[in-house]
Amino acid sequence: MKFNFASKKFIVLGVGASLLIVALLIGFFSCFSSVKSGHIGIVTAFGQVDPLPLSEGLHPISPWKSVTLMNVRLQSPSSSADSASKDLQKVHTQVTVPYTITASYGAKIFQKVGNLDRIEAAIINPGIQESTKAVTAQFSAEHLITQREVAKTKIDQMIREYVAHALEAQGLKGAITIGSIAVTDFQFSPEFNKSIEQKVQAEQDALRAENEKRKKITEAEGDAESKRKSADGEAYAIEKKSIAEAAAIKRKADALSSNPRLVDLNAVEKWNGQLPNMMGGGAVPFINVNPGKQQN
């Protein structure tokens, strides 16, 4: 019996020692906190936030303190904004604002704003809503289409200004870095889209008709110009010919006036060598100068 009692006592002592060792190990490891990659650790104790966040890795931590992890990687929340254009058309816009939390400001922004969900709900999303509504109200629906890049640039600028102002008001200037903002094309009601399509089609038809009209006018003007040039050419040729003939006549007249015998010379040059059949003159009015032929 003594042996059994001693054995049981030994077993109880062994189990107690094991439990103590386990408790010590648990207590030891509970004094450490692990911060995974891409995060910082926000340390709080009895509701107070330690201004120095923990970096990545294993850190000793007091048992009465707790650690909340905050993601400092690039976040890309997307929000849709429903607004109205200057001409009161409904506009639906999807905006994505990539941002990162500056690690050194992590504890402070956690204390004054909260975790990432609170940051997006309190700063990022309101910035998207307010900026989109303010900008779309400056453009008509048609101009939002034709001047899309201008409107997007304005939205980008206003979101950045809104976020910067909100952070500065909380003493958190530089706590958030905004990346490249993406503004999805503005979407309108089906009725408006249909009216735009009809207007574009009408403008294309009008432009096509105008081009056809201009083409016909150009062809007609070209034909008229061709005819005018042809007529001018003919008139020029006639004019040159008339001038040449007039000059020739003048030269002949000048020659005749200076030499009357030139008429006889011209007559001799033009004579074909044959005498006329009848010649009249003197007392005998008609003489047959061709005796070889008998008159009938």
216-257, pLDDT tens digit by residue? 888 877 777 777 777 777 777 787 777 877 777 777 666 666
Structural domains in the chain plus CATH codes: 13-71 (no CATH), 78-188 (3.30.479.30)
Give yes or no for residue 3 having a pLDDT over 50: no
pLDDT attached to residue 296: 45
Say whether pTM exceeds 0.75: no
pLDDT of residue 190: 86
Residue-wise pLDDT tens digits, 137-148: 999 998 998 899
CA atoms of 129 and 155, how far apart (whole Å): 10
Structure token digits, residue 276: 């006329």
Percent of the chain with pLDDT over 70: 75
Could you tell me if 109 and 119 are in contact, meaning their C-beta atoms sit under 8 angstroms apart?
yes
Are 89 and 192 in contact by the 8 Å Cβ rule? The answer is yes
Report the relative pairing of strands 32-35 and 57-60 from DSSP bridges: antiparallel
Mean pLDDT, rounded, for 157-171: 96
Nearby residues of 121 by Cβ (< 8 Å), 6 or more positions away: none
Tens digits of residue pLDDT in 66-111: 999 999 999 999 999 999 999 999 999 999 999 999 999 999 999 9
Q: What's the pLDDT band for 286 if we cut at 50, 70, 90? A: very low
- State the average pLDDT for the chain: 81
| pLDDT for 24 | 47
Q: Of 26-35, 149-158, 220-229, where does the model show the most confidence?
A: 149-158
Question: pLDDT category, 19, cuts 50, 70, 90?
Answer: low
**27-31, 178-182, 213-217: least confident range:** 27-31
Counting Cβ atoms within 10 Å, is residue 187 exposed (0-12), middle (13-18) or buried (19+)?
A: middle
Please write the tens of the pLDDT for every residue from 189-210: 888 878 777 877 788 888 888 8
| Band of pLDDT at residue 54, cut at 50, 70 and 90 | very high
Q: Per the structure block, which two tokens stand in for 1?
A: 């019996």
- Would you call 53 helix, strand, or coil by DSSP? coil
